[in-house]
């Protein structure tokens, strides 16, 4: 039986788009991608509920090169006083799009539902900032969260990293960087349809009609991020986590991806490598779902199930050994 979109997701998307597919942009056109994705993202996130019980506070840290980096803290007003878990969050956008405030409502949903506070990092975007700058920005955020854990009511042994799409790939990369440097411990990585492999440059013809994020988008974004490294075998695993040579020592992992997503095979493959290394890994492949299905059709039953699974994973962050 051929692939088809989840019926409820399909119905919501048809109402949203009138049945029209988005414009396919040529490789390398970053400006048009930024304009189109920012406009669509702001419109979609504006439909999410607000959560006045979630307070937002802004902090700053200094990146490796001396640049000031925004860190936005989201926590429920009635948060427990005893130290608990926290999540370092990295937003999506192909590493070329997005800013922390754009995701305020989305993170409010997570914090309200899970009761776990989040810290979101305003990492610099490619191509203006290429590897390793965005990874170093995120690592600075991870370090800051560990250093300020006590004043934020956080157990430093229960800090997870989480990201969606490109943010998921960056979360996996910064976890590898922390392991490489014997840096701040990461208790868990929560990777939502993560962008892990710069070598994904072709589309499965069975998926092409469903792709929200295409091979052309992927080539554009990885090229922007990696610059002269792109297309070579010199790309390090701390840039593209699918290139990992040895997963041993990584924390428990949650991975989720849609059946109709360009990243499906690289995400399943990454989970398989973690299992073979003895890393406890929870994998969900959402039938009939494309990339960003939960944002495009947030009210659908499959998106609600995904949110429940993610929040359960967030709430169950255990102490790193």
Q: What is the pLDDT of residues 107-122, one digit of tens each?
A: 999 999 999 999 999 9
d(CA 300, CA 59): 35
pTM metric for this prediction:
0.97
d(CA 183, CA 41): 34
Residues 159-213 have pLDDT tens digits of 999 999 999 999 999 999 999 999 999 999 999 999 999 999 999 999 999 999 9
> Which fold does the domain 7-315 belong to in CATH?
Rossmann fold (3.40.50)
Per DSSP, the residues of 18-44 read TTPPPPPPPTT-HHHHHHHHHHHHHHH
| Buried b / exposed e along 144-168 (16+ C-beta atoms within 10 A) | bbbebbeebebbbbbbbbbbbbbbb
d(CA 71, CA 64): 15
Confidence check: pLDDT of 1 > 90: no
> Which is catalytic among the residues 165, 221, 300, 313?
165
Question: Which residues lie below 8 Å from residue 78, measured CB to CB, with a gap of 6+?
Answer: 53
Residues 252-283 have pLDDT tens digits of 999 999 999 999 999 999 999 999 999 999 99
Percent of the chain with pLDDT over 70: 99
Helix 215-226 and helix 30-45: axis angle, to 10°?
110
Average pLDDT estimate for 215-243: 98
C-alpha angle 232/237/238, rounded to 5°? 115
Give the single-character DSSP code of 101. G
Structure-token pair, residue 50: 């607000």
The residue ranges of every structural domain in the chain are: 7-315
Average pLDDT estimate for 245-253: 97
Location of structure tokens 């430093």: 156
- Whether 32 is catalytic is no
d(CA 108, CA 271): 28
- Whether 309 is catalytic is no
Q: How far are the Cα atoms of 175, 218, 232 from residue 163, in angstroms, in the given order?
A: 12, 17, 26
d(CA 217, CA 32): 11
> Which is catalytic among the residues 106, 137, 291, 294?
291
- Inter-residue contact 247 to 279 (CB < 8 Å): yes
> Which is catalytic among the residues 6, 198, 217, 261?
261
Report pLDDT for 211. Answer: 96
Least confident of 12-21, 77-86, 119-128, 297-306: 12-21
- Whether 261 is catalytic is yes
- Inter-residue contact 254 to 175 (CB < 8 Å): no
H or E stretch including 285? strand 281-290
Question: Which residues lie below 8 Å from residue 178, measured CB to CB, with a gap of 6+?
Answer: 139, 142, 184, 185, 186
Give the mean pLDDT of the chain. Answer: 96
Handedness of CA 306, 289, 21, 193 (dihedral sign): positive
């Amino acid at each position: 039986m051929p692939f088809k979109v989840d019926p409820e997701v399909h119905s919501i998307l048809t109402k949203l788009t009138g049945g029209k597919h988005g414009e396919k942009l040529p490789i390398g056109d970053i400006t048009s991608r930024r304009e189109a994705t920012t406009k669509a993202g702001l419109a979609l996130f504006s439909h999410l509920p607000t959560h006045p019980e979630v307070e937002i506070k802004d902090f700053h840290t200094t990146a490796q090169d001396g640049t000031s980096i925004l860190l936005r803290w989201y926590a429920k007003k009635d948060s427990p006083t005893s130290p608990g878990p926290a999540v370092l969050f990295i937003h999506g956008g192909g590493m070329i799009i997005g800013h922390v405030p754009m995701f305020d409502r989305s993170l409010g949903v997570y914090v309200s539902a899970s009761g776990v506070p989040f810290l979101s990092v305003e990492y610099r975007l490619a191509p203006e900032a290429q590897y390793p700058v965005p990874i170093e920005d995120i690592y600075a955020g991870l370090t800051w969260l560990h250093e300020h854990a006590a004043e934020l009511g956080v157990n430093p042994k229960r800090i997870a990293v989480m990201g969606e799409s490109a943010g998921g790939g960056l979360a996996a990369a910064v976890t590898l960087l922390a392991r490489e440097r014997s840096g701040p411990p990461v208790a868990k990585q929560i990777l939502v349809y993560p962008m892990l492999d710069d070598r994904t440059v072709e589309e499965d013809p069975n998926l092409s009609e469903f792709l929200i994020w295409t091979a052309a988008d992927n080539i554009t974004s990885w090229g922007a991020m990696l610059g002269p490294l792109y297309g070579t075998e010199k790309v390090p695993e701390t840039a593209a986590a699918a290139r990992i040579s040895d997963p041993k020592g990584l924390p428990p992992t949650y991975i989720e991806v849609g059946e109709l997503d360009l990243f499906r095979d690289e995400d399943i493959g990454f989970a398989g490598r973690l299992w073979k290394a003895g890393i406890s890994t929870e994998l969900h492949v959402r039938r009939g779902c494309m990339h960003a299905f939960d944002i495009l059709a947030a009210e659908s039953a499959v998106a609600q199930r995904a949110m429940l699974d993610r929040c359960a994973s967030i709430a169950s962050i255990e102490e790193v050994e």
